[in-house]
Amino acid sequence: MGSKPLNRRELLKNSAAIAGGLTLGAAAPAMGAQQTPESHHAPPSWPMIKGDKDMIAYGDRSKYVTSVRIAHPVGGRPSPDQFGLTFHIATPLQDSVGVITPSSLHYVATTRGAFMPDIDPKEHRLMIHGLVDRPLTFTMEDLKRLPSVTRLHFIECAGNRSSRAAKNVQQTHGMVSCAEWTGVLLSTLLKECGVKASAKWFVAEGAEEVKGASSMPIAKAMDDCILAYGMNGEAVRPQNGFPLRLMVPGFEGIFHTKYLRRIKVVDRYYMNYNDFGHLDQEAKIAALEYQIGPKSVITFPSGEQRLPGKGFYEISGLAWSGGGAIKLVEVSTDGGKKWNKADFKGTPQRMAFTRFGYQWNWDGSETEILSRCTDELGQVQPTRAQIAKYWNKPYDQTFTVPGLDNSAQPWRIANDGSVTNGFA
């Protein structure tokens, strides 16, 4: 700031910032000597949080913030179970703000119940081999020397579908999350190894007990896959694949191989166990099992929330697509008769959450609200009735959306302001 002497206001601003930074909490009284004469600071009515060693080392949220993950689906296998195995855990979307899911709240899925591997990153290796000119093995240190990228990406579990039994948005949509991922592009390493012309697919494999492996098109590897060691500004968490996770932006969650230890470049679909699970009789349905379609959901107001009365509300929600960036989000407040353009909070990123808002005056009468989105490829999020019509199936309670369910989620608002699942 140069040598210009600080005026009184700048001094005050700086000392307040220093005081706030040192005492963990804005409630700390500012230094008395620097208060202006006209300020009257009553003693605070709330207790102070004393700094302890743990809190200084790694901060906690307020005890009043109690949002937590839950086992998914409703009535399914518990996580943890009696042996400490983790199955599926859903993120509390109803409490989310912005587009980043905190690492502690990121959804988790395992291909079968699993303990979290406790991997020493010093011992971890990634090997790339198969149809390459030069097979190579990398340490984590090696990977961190290479040019990195940092990108926002969502991950969504193929089983993230709303049901009649689901009561809130955590239960209907909680198996999707978005984080900032940092790592090396897989294409950077594949170029380092020299991919042979006969390469068509690659197999990615984890180091956990089941050594989960999936076949993916080599075109995806060369396009935008990331070997991620960073997540939301720190190391990837064990539940999300520490120390190294393969990000396959826009593909179903199962492809995002955790604890990544090996990539084999091959000439054919390798038909691993996970691959076999993607087979279908119908080519059209098989095609829907890779790239996720355009999808959005209103997170406020959503199931089990309650509007205190008529008046102004900003409807808020999230939109994402495996096809790229979100181009348009529309909100209906009359059950889908009229659609209104929502605004974006920030610039939509490719294969990442986009937060949207829509300003709404509720007149206090019963209604249904829902959102739909369009992505950069022109793919439009459908209603379930539209999907049924496309597949020439009757739309009733027995109808199941083929592939990953990206249908619009209706929330019903009653006269008393209570919000319930429109599918129930």
Partner 1 sequence: MGSPRISPFAFVLPVLLMGGASALAQGPAFGIGRTPTPEEIKALDISIGPTGEELPPGKGNAKEGAELYRTKGCAACHGAQGIGGAAPNLKGKDPKNPDLWARGRILPLRAPFATTVWDYINRGMPLNSEGTLTADEVYSLTAFLLFINDVIPEDQALDQQSLPKVKMPIGDSYAPLPDWKPRTKRLPGYPF
Question: Which residues fall within 8 angstroms of residue 88, CB to CB, at 6 or more apart?
Answer: 71, 72, 73, 76, 77, 79, 107, 108, 109, 110, 157, 159, 175
The tokens of 32 are what? 């008395």
Residue 232's nearest CA partner among 272, 179, 270, 273 is 179
Rule CB under 8 A: which of 56-115 touch partner 1?
112
* Interface region with partner 1, contact rule CB under 8 A, candidates 296-304, 307-315, 362-370, 385-393: 385-393
Q: Cβ(294)–Cβ(381) under 8 Å?
A: yes
State the binding string over 189-218 for partner 1 (x if CB under 8 A, else -).
xxxxxxxxx-x---x-x---xxx-x---x-
Identity of the residue, 49 or 136, whose beta carbon is nearer to partner 1 in the bound complex: 136
- What DSSP line would sit under 349-397, residue for residue? -TTS-EEEEEEEEE-SS-EEEEEEEEETT--BPPPHHHHHHHTT---ST
Identity of the residue, 35 or 272, whose beta carbon is nearer to partner 1 in the bound complex: 272
CA angle 324, 233, 109 (to 5 degrees): 60
Could you tell me how many residues make up the chain? 424
* Interface region with partner 1, contact rule CB under 8 A, candidates 24-32, 41-49, 336-344, 371-379: 371-379
Residue 378's nearest CA partner among 310, 317, 324 is 324
Q: What is the DSSP letter of 94?
A: G
State the binding string over 315-334 for partner 1 (x if CB under 8 A, else -).
-------xxx----------
Rule CB under 8 A: which of 37-56 touch partner 1?
none
* Interface region with partner 1, contact rule CB under 8 A, candidates 57-65, 153-161, 173-181, 376-384: 376-384
For residue 133, the minimal CB distance to partner 1 (Å) is: 6
Rule CB under 8 A: which of 255-284 touch partner 1?
261-262, 264, 266, 268-273, 275-277, 279-284
- What DSSP line would sit under 151-167, residue for residue? EEEEEE-TT----TT--
Rule CB under 8 A: which of 222-241 touch partner 1?
223-224
For residue 48, the minimal CB distance to partner 1 (Å) is: 48
The tokens of 213 are what? 């492996």
121 binds partner 1 (CB under 8 A): no
Rule CB under 8 A: which of 123-182 touch partner 1?
127, 129, 133-138, 142, 145-147
For residue 389, the minimal CB distance to partner 1 (Å) is: 11
